Structure 1
Amino acid sequence: MKNLESRTKKLLLLGAAAALIVLAGGVGLGQVLAIMSAAPEVDREYSALETTVVYSRDGELLAGIYEEDRTYVELERIPQQLQDAFIAVEDRNFYSHPGVDPRAIARALYANLRHGEIVEGGSTITQQLARNLYLDAERTMTRKLKEIRIALDLEQSFTKDEILEMYLNHIYLGSGAYGVQAASQRYFDKDVEELRLDEMAVLAALPRAPNYYSPLNNPEATEARRDIVLQRMEQTGYLSEDLARRTAGTPLETVDPEQETRAWYFVDHVRRKLLELFDEDEVFGEGLVVHTTLDIEAQAVAEEAFAEAVETGRIPNSENEDGDPQPQYAQVFLDVHTGAVRSMVGGRGDDEFNRAELALRHPGSAFKSFIYAAALSEGRFPGTVVNDIPRVADHESVANDDGPVVWPRNFDDQYRGLVNYRRALSRSINTAAVEVLRDIGIETARRHIAGYEFSSLTENDGVEDHYAFALGGLERGVSPLEMAAAYGAFAAGGVPPEPFAIEKVTDGEGRVLYRAPPREEPSGEELYERYIRRGVAPGYIEDFQVEPALSRENAFLMSDMLRTVVEQGTGIGARLEVPVAGKTGTSDDNADAWFVGYTQDMVMTVWIGEDASQPMQYTVNTSDIEITGVHASLIWGDIMRQLVDSDSDAGEAFERPPRVQNVSIDLFTGRPPGAHSAVAVDELMIDDEPDPIPIEIAIHMPAYLTLRRYLAGIPEHRPEPISEVELDPPRIDAVVFEPILPVYPIDRGQERQYLGSPEGPFGPVPLGPAEIELGGTEELKTADGEVFEGVYVIDRYEPVQAINPATGLPVGLPPGLSVN
């Protein structure tokens, strides 16, 4: 009987509404009923697109990811005054009409006829919901008829409270916000339960014209419409006259819309990762709850450090042709042990390109670390000696038709002769890095570097004779994110941490949909607690026996060498009160500036560069500056000093494996010191056996080889041990076509030191200190066609190498002598 009464009531209402429309529009009753019967069927299960919300590791809201920004809230969470406000201004008879209000329709029809067009809808809250759920916004009689039919069906399918709940969650409220919770966050940065009365009235003011009345677009119109809402609430008995009047005088206060998304680049990174895990419809419409790895403090510190660098001029502030600020910058901060991304900065400006993840840039000298790591893996150690001298290029990649080309060159065109790995890396010596690569072979280096899992390397990186590979000369480049992970291998005992940003994802009810795989094989207890007990299968099936990029011992040796870079070399701007290891990098023509550094727990990349990959040369306050890796290291240090507590575990040194031993070596041979070793130094190596690699291969220095053999084989000509004499380094002009060794001028009558005896078969070899000018003739050019000029700087007690009369460059062998 009740269903019959309901059906009869519905038919009567349909008839009344149809009659009004027939009278107003002159259409046939049959046509009206046909249109109504074609309306979509009401779905008994309400669903709407919901915003995926992203939280930091500390539970702070970062942003929403959505097609429609909506967060569903149940009616009991929505304040009663907010419900009253919407009812008062949108549908005062909501709880008494059956979905359609004939009096409102008649009033609207009269207004429309008077104006000759549709100017008033007369829609109830139920009709507005019907339109938003099932119809478009076109103002036609056909749509209005369907709206009426759907509204009546909704009233038959849901209670009044359910309809109001759906409406308050579904309605568009301007500035991209759907529903009262999203609008509350968008305009006031509050949950809906925290709204004041004046703020509730603002939300209720919006449905009439959401974008026009948005407080972000038209605050004066918003205030006027808000006051109308308060007046209607008083007229309908929801507010006293005094309260309505006092509330109407409240100044309108909204949040800065620019602050609505925190850590934008990180959230963008999370969005891409979510789309790898879930369907697009799930990410943009099912209200996922995403718990991430972001550290709010670390993110804020990084952003502030870059902002301060721009303000102080450390990073210049210019623009490209499109008006985008240049140079750009990026930063990534990872947990060394887990790979968790703690902060990410992807640039500045409005272009939304995430350079931390997506930009592929040439790493310059920051790539040298992997060449040295490859050499350590082949049996070398930090004391292995290479020859830092300029050479005439012998491969096509830098060939020049105008004559001999000097390549590689050091950035300052100073060449230091015999240097060990530690010094070569700390000074970022280009010639030494190329010699290391020549020694171990390009194929060996390429195979080793594959262990760091760079995704952007191509088959052209590390081809035969591609010695620029040692200097970061890559076809495509690498990203700041992957550089951080690769350096993390040195801090993490040889295994590169796999970066991840999402800890877990749940649905709105808290059910776990995804959990990040553990970084190491979980115990049975952990598997039970995290997965089995909750009825969730682990989101991974993998072997935890991860292949390291290098051994634990060699990872420590690399960290110790890279500590020297920070403490004594090019990375000194990154020094902290705790042990830090890292490397600067500056690509060709200063197009990219890097610093990648780490403590025992954290690794961070800082990159600076022009989007167009052009030289970073600027004029700031009338001074010309050129951005290099040193600038990146200074910003790295600014960030880390605020994040690292010297009293915490982060202040501890890198853990030294038991097999790494202290040894004493000859500075200029890398071998155990002998009776005539000029300088002996302490160094580290695995176990206590000297490097088994022959010195001939290790340093490419035939003159010193010959000298060593001479000293070992002709005892009667061994000189006495060298006594220390203070000498000022003389300047010696290199005579291209005459050898330097037989004649060595003595400055101001000081006694010059020699190694060897004049009566020996090879004559005496002079020792440093000295400085010899190189090049300066038209016969010797650089790769860009300029005349090569450099200085050969010889340390105290270091053997002086001969000058090749054909090139004017050191070759290490007196003319006419054989290395056999």
Structure 2
Amino acid sequence: MEHREMKGGIKVDERSMPPDYSTKAENKREDTEDNRDKDKYQIIIHKYSQVKAKKETLGSSQLPTESRNRGFPLVNWKWLSLVLITSFLLVFGILLTVILTSEFLPIERITEKDKPTIIYDRNNKEYAKLRKKLYEPISMESLRKKNPLLIDTIKKVEDQRFDHHSGVDYYSLARAIYKTLFSDKTEGGGTITMQVARNVILENLEQTLGRKLKEIVVAWNLERKYSKDQILEAYFNHIYYGNGIYGVQLAAKIYFGKDLSKDKLTPGEVAILVGIPKAPSGYSPYRLTKDQTGKTGIERLEERQKIVLSIMARKNDMKPLISEKERQFWSQAPISIRPKTDLLEYKRQVAATPFDTLIEAEIEKKFPQFKVDELNASGLKIYTNIDPKVQTAVETALQNDRLFTSYQNQLMPREKVEAGVTVIDPHDGSIVAIGGGRNFQPKLTRVRALDKHQPGSSIKPLTVYGPVIHLRKFHESTPLQDESLTVHGKRIQNFEHEYYGHVKMKDAVKYSLNSATVWLLEKHLGVDVAFDYGKKLGLPLIADDKNPSPLALGGLTRGVSTKDMAQAYSVFLGDGSYYEAHIIREIRGFATDEEEEITVKADYEPIQVFDRQTAWHMLQILRGTVMDSDGIRAARLAGREVAGKSGTTQNKEKGWFVGLTPNYVTAVVVFNEYQKDEKLNNKKYEIIGGGAPAKLFYSIMTDALKNTPPQTFVKPKGIENLETPIQQIGISGTFIDGKVKLSWTPSEKGVKYKLARSDDGYFYQEIAKNLTTTSYVDSIPKGGGILEKVLSFLTREKVYYYKVTALYPNGRNDEKTGTVSVTIPDQSTNEEKPSDNGNGIFDWLGF
């Protein structure tokens, strides 16, 4: 074997060197720096530590130029260094970014993330406390006092080295990675601290590198800032148990009926509470359906309990917590879980109320100081107008199936027929109660009181009768014409498919005569005026509603809600004005970008629509609609005054009743949930306003006004009472010998009279003035034009209306009037009748 001796007496076996290395000793040194680099290369490959001190012996100049470019070129080392440095800086930058951006809410302020919104009623008592999460906190001191086994079991199952690591258990993390990569099993490497960071602090379950890095950084920060007990307490109070339950304390109360601060859990119960969070939905004891494993929730929970009991009895990094005998006993013992009704009772604490939609809308519109993304986590104190007594009455009535009977007196099931209710205090527009519906479920169903429906005849006092009293000075005894009409190609029909000729206005309202209402709208009001009044009253009308059918009969394009109708009808109890319906009185809380709590009160001004006289007259007409002997009997309250109006939509698919008492305005709608064009299960129930809606009103007001003294409608000063028709001058008239002889009772001395005649009861033409006598003879003109002859031939009679008015001296304005109608009998018997000569009526008419 050949050896080459180097300086210092060290021999090197040339055959053991790389082929090109043997030539190095023979070459001359040319470049000291290259020589030094190549010597390093030689030492690394052959690990001859002794050569380290003799690096200068072999010069790089002895290496051929082409030999330098083979193997591992020098330039690759530079690129490798650059890549390594860049990668290091990139990772460092990512970590630094994560650290700098991983700000988190301190544990002691975690509850502020779910600070409940407290809703107060009109008596300033707490009505509802809305939380984002359903949980009850408990301290570690209380847990350790009564249930130390629960604390130790959580550690043993979830994080055995919890008391020793600094937030991240690197051993468990490495083991989890290894098992995930090199075996069929997967294992989590997260610690209890990391779970607090992920589920409580970050509330982010995304499976991304950025989220994981944030989780690790937050876990480190938690361990640095807080004690192990503080971290564990946060874990126990916010861990998810399924069914909307957060925290071990509430889970124990719902599942076992135990308070962990007072009651001790059995090992079997401990195993359940520790086991459920691994898969809350899968292990839910209330899940009766089978999942993909083919098992119910309780079946899977039994399996999970056995696994946890085995871990409790096993020795690992922690000593066994129970004996093998105990494990066997509790593994075989049946699981006892409280009924689901306990869960439902607790869930009422975080459930939405029927008012949530209204509250959120009002905050946005009237309280812009408070930005509310989630009402049940806003932390606001909201003082409302809710009256618990009235609200309870509404909810009770909606759940009383006996009140829901059809026109044929059939019980209407809640699956088919729904309802909505709004009750308003007309004195300030405050909403005191809302009926979400017969099937209302918080967060799952919409509030039916806010649904839009065609109002039917309940719109008539708002858009026709109220305005015509206001503008035309009509009153309850003003005669209307109820006759067959055709509007836009559609024949107007009454509910009973009959027409009643001349009727008083109060009767047209009471009997909800469609024809008379349309006649009144077209002859004496106009659709533009009616539309404007509807808009003034806050009804959500659109341009398509500007025609007789929507405005006189309630066939609106988009419809109205019970809130809209209750608000509008308040005008008749408010001397002609109303307030915008609202539910919030005051809000206290932290405004956007404010550090101190502020208080903001609602401010609403009355909206004037009618005068006081119009409001009172309309209220009296509506009172007769209910209180008269032939009024809506189902809506009458014993010993109390009630006014109201019913409404029924086409084909009796929906029914309305808007009722007024001196205290409240209540709007009720009952409607078929499924329309006739539904393919399956489409039975439709006939509903009228005087039926189920009126019964609901009766039930609600009976309970709401219980133990309160009866009140009456108070007439404003200076307004005439309309319980009897305004007929201050008694006038009579008879037809004799082609003349109408009129006479009336004298009013006062020195008074003169004027007399007017009308052929329709509305438009009068003056025929005499400054009469000093109390009688007058009116000569009825004979003959007339073609139209008069045709009418005479067809009807054989005609009616004239006469009005006498007292004219007081000195321009007094409190004039008295009297009206009378006189029927002119058939006069054709004394005339030559048309002969049947082939021309018939045309000869008689003079053609």
The secondary structure found in structure 1 opposite 2:282 is helix
In the alignment, the residues of structure 1 paired with residue 800 and residue 391 of structure 2 have an alpha-carbon distance, to the nearest angstrom, of 58
The secondary structure found in structure 1 opposite 2:658 is strand
In the alignment, the residues of structure 1 paired with residue 725 and residue 374 of structure 2 have an alpha-carbon distance, to the nearest angstrom, of 65
Q: Map of 1:632-671 to 2, 5 A cutoff? A: 632-645=693-706, 647-649=707-709, 651-662=710-721
What per-residue deviation string (whole Å, max 9, x for no partner) do you get for residues 762-808 of structure 1? xxxxxxxxxxxxxxxxxxxxxxxxxxxxxxxxxxx986688999xxx
The corresponding residue for 1:600 is 662
Q: Identify which of 265, 290, 302 aligns with 2:394.
A: 302
The secondary structure found in structure 1 opposite 2:424 is strand
Bigger shift: 175-184 or 494-503? Answer: 175-184
Q: Identify which of 518, 524, 530 aligns with 1:439.
A: 524
The secondary structure found in structure 2 opposite 1:302 is helix
Q: Identify which of 768, 776, 780 aligns with 1:713.
A: 776
The secondary structure found in structure 2 opposite 1:211 is coil
Correspondence 1:50 to 2:50: no
Q: Structure 1's 173 and 567: CA in aligned 2 closer, same or farther, altered over 3 A? A: same
Q: Structure 1's 593 and 105: CA in aligned 2 closer, same or farther, altered over 3 A? A: same
Q: Which runs of 5 or more residues in structure 2 are unaligned?
A: 1-86, 288-296, 736-753, 781-789, 802-819, 829-847
Correspondence 1:409 to 2:493: yes
The corresponding residue for 2:13 is none
The corresponding residue for 1:210 is 280
Give the Å deviation of 1:411: 1.4
Task: Give the counterpart letter for 1:50 in structure 2.
Answer: D
In the alignment, the residues of structure 1 paired with residue 372 and residue 272 of structure 2 have an alpha-carbon distance, to the nearest angstrom, of 33
Bigger shift: 168-177 or 552-561? Answer: 168-177
Q: Structure 1's 36 and 63: CA in aligned 2 closer, same or farther, altered over 3 A? A: same
8 Å CA contact retained: 2:255, 2:337:
no
The corresponding residue for 1:152 is 220
The corresponding residue for 1:377 is 470
Task: Give the counterpart letter for 1:126 in structure 2.
Answer: T
Q: Structure 1's 200 and 640: CA in aligned 2 closer, same or farther, altered over 3 A? A: farther
Q: Identify which of 479, 483, 490 aligns with 1:386.
A: 479
8 Å CA contact retained: 2:452, 2:559:
yes
Give the Å deviation of 1:429: 1.7
Give the Å deviation of 1:585: 0.3
Q: Structure 1's 562 and 468: CA in aligned 2 closer, same or farther, altered over 3 A? A: same
Give the Å deviation of 1:620: 13
Task: Give the counterpart letter for 2:192 in structure 1.
Answer: I
In the alignment, the residues of structure 2 paired with residue 266 and residue 192 of structure 1 have an alpha-carbon distance, to the nearest angstrom, of 35
What per-residue deviation string (whole Å, max 9, x for no partner) do you get for residues 446-486 of structure 1? 333333122x11234335xx365222233322122100111
In the alignment, the residues of structure 1 paired with residue 301 and residue 585 of structure 2 have an alpha-carbon distance, to the nearest angstrom, of 41
Q: Structure 1's 148 and 458: CA in aligned 2 closer, same or farther, altered over 3 A? A: closer
Give the Å deviation of 1:137: 4.5
8 Å CA contact retained: 2:758, 2:765:
no
Q: Structure 1's 677 and 583: CA in aligned 2 closer, same or farther, altered over 3 A? A: farther
In the alignment, the residues of structure 1 paired with residue 733 and residue 827 of structure 2 have an alpha-carbon distance, to the nearest angstrom, of 27
Q: Structure 1's 483 and 143: CA in aligned 2 closer, same or farther, altered over 3 A? A: closer
8 Å CA contact retained: 1:666, 1:673:
no
Bigger shift: 580-589 or 185-194? Answer: 185-194
Matched residue pairs, number? 645
In the alignment, the residues of structure 2 paired with residue 347 and residue 605 of structure 1 have an alpha-carbon distance, to the nearest angstrom, of 13
Give the Å deviation of 1:171: 3.3
Correspondence 1:494 to 2:553: no
Give the Å deviation of 1:126: 0.6
The corresponding residue for 1:270 is 359
In the alignment, the residues of structure 2 paired with residue 418 and residue 392 of structure 1 have an alpha-carbon distance, to the nearest angstrom, of 14
Task: Give the counterpart letter for 1:606 in structure 2.
Answer: V
The secondary structure found in structure 1 opposite 2:466 is helix
Task: Give the counterpart letter for 1:487 in structure 2.
Answer: Y
Query: Could you tell me the TM-score, scaled by structure 1's length?
Result: 0.64
In the alignment, the residues of structure 2 paired with residue 186 and residue 60 of structure 1 have an alpha-carbon distance, to the nearest angstrom, of 23
Correspondence 1:451 to 2:536: yes
What per-residue deviation string (whole Å, max 9, x for no partner) do you get for residues 490-527 of structure 1? 223332232223344445xxx6899xxxxxxxxxxxxx
Q: Structure 1's 102 and 460: CA in aligned 2 closer, same or farther, altered over 3 A? A: closer
What per-residue deviation string (whole Å, max 9, x for no partner) do you get for residues 380-399 of structure 1? 25434223331443x5x236
Correspondence 1:361 to 2:453: yes
Q: Structure 1's 98 and 476: CA in aligned 2 closer, same or farther, altered over 3 A? A: closer
8 Å CA contact retained: 2:476, 2:722:
no
The corresponding residue for 1:720 is none
8 Å CA contact retained: 1:84, 1:233:
no
Correspondence 1:340 to 2:399: no
The secondary structure found in structure 2 opposite 1:713 is strand
Give the Å deviation of 1:284: 6.3
Q: Structure 1's 553 and 226: CA in aligned 2 closer, same or farther, altered over 3 A? A: farther
In the alignment, the residues of structure 2 paired with residue 594 and residue 804 of structure 1 have an alpha-carbon distance, to the nearest angstrom, of 48
The corresponding residue for 2:242 is 174
8 Å CA contact retained: 1:71, 1:287:
no
In the alignment, the residues of structure 2 paired with residue 354 and residue 597 of structure 1 have an alpha-carbon distance, to the nearest angstrom, of 21
Task: Give the counterpart letter for 1:378 in structure 2.
Answer: L
Q: Structure 1's 712 and 439: CA in aligned 2 closer, same or farther, altered over 3 A? A: farther
Q: Structure 1's 206 and 390: CA in aligned 2 closer, same or farther, altered over 3 A? A: same
8 Å CA contact retained: 2:576, 2:608:
yes
The secondary structure found in structure 1 opposite 2:690 is helix
Task: Give the counterpart letter for 1:459 in structure 2.
Answer: A
Give the Å deviation of 1:305: 2.5
The secondary structure found in structure 2 opposite 1:660 is coil
The secondary structure found in structure 2 opposite 1:207 is helix
The corresponding residue for 1:546 is 606
8 Å CA contact retained: 2:236, 2:247:
yes
Bigger shift: 362-371 or 194-203? Answer: 194-203
What per-residue deviation string (whole Å, max 9, x for no partner) do you get for residues 253-277 of structure 1? 1444666356754334434545655
Task: Give the counterpart letter for 1:208 in structure 2.
Answer: K
8 Å CA contact retained: 2:757, 2:765:
no
8 Å CA contact retained: 1:575, 1:637:
yes
Give the Å deviation of 1:549: 2.1
Q: Structure 1's 625 and 122: CA in aligned 2 closer, same or farther, altered over 3 A? A: closer
Give the Å deviation of 1:364: 1.2
The corresponding residue for 2:336 is 251
In the alignment, the residues of structure 2 paired with residue 113 and residue 375 of structure 1 have an alpha-carbon distance, to the nearest angstrom, of 85
The secondary structure found in structure 2 opposite 1:486 is helix
The corresponding residue for 1:588 is 650
Task: Give the counterpart letter for 1:603 in structure 2.
Answer: V
The corresponding residue for 2:197 is 130
Task: Give the counterpart letter for 2:196 in structure 1.
Answer: L
The corresponding residue for 1:98 is 166
Q: Structure 1's 736 and 124: CA in aligned 2 closer, same or farther, altered over 3 A? A: same
Correspondence 1:564 to 2:595: no
Over the aligned positions, Cα root-mean-square deviation in angstroms equals 5.3
8 Å CA contact retained: 1:50, 1:71:
no
The secondary structure found in structure 2 opposite 1:609 is strand
Q: Identify which of 136, 140, 153 aligns with 1:88.
A: 153
8 Å CA contact retained: 1:85, 1:230:
no
8 Å CA contact retained: 1:375, 1:440:
yes
Correspondence 1:118 to 2:186: yes
Q: Structure 1's 377 and 194: CA in aligned 2 closer, same or farther, altered over 3 A? A: farther
What per-residue deviation string (whole Å, max 9, x for no partner) do you get for residues 661-720 of structure 1? 3479769xx674325699xxxxxxxxxxxxx997749834899999xx999522999xxx
In the alignment, the residues of structure 1 paired with residue 721 and residue 381 of structure 2 have an alpha-carbon distance, to the nearest angstrom, of 52
Q: Structure 1's 302 and 33: CA in aligned 2 closer, same or farther, altered over 3 A? A: same
In the alignment, the residues of structure 2 paired with residue 666 and residue 105 of structure 1 have an alpha-carbon distance, to the nearest angstrom, of 92
What per-residue deviation string (whole Å, max 9, x for no partner) do you get for residues 45-83 of structure 1? 3376426545462756657464xx366858479755578
Task: Give the counterpart letter for 1:673 in structure 2.
Answer: G
Query: Could you tell me the TM-score, scaled by structure 2's length?
Result: 0.63
The corresponding residue for 2:36 is none
Q: Structure 1's 411 and 333: CA in aligned 2 closer, same or farther, altered over 3 A? A: same
Task: Give the counterpart letter for 2:622 in structure 1.
Answer: L
Q: Structure 1's 558 and 700: CA in aligned 2 closer, same or farther, altered over 3 A? A: closer
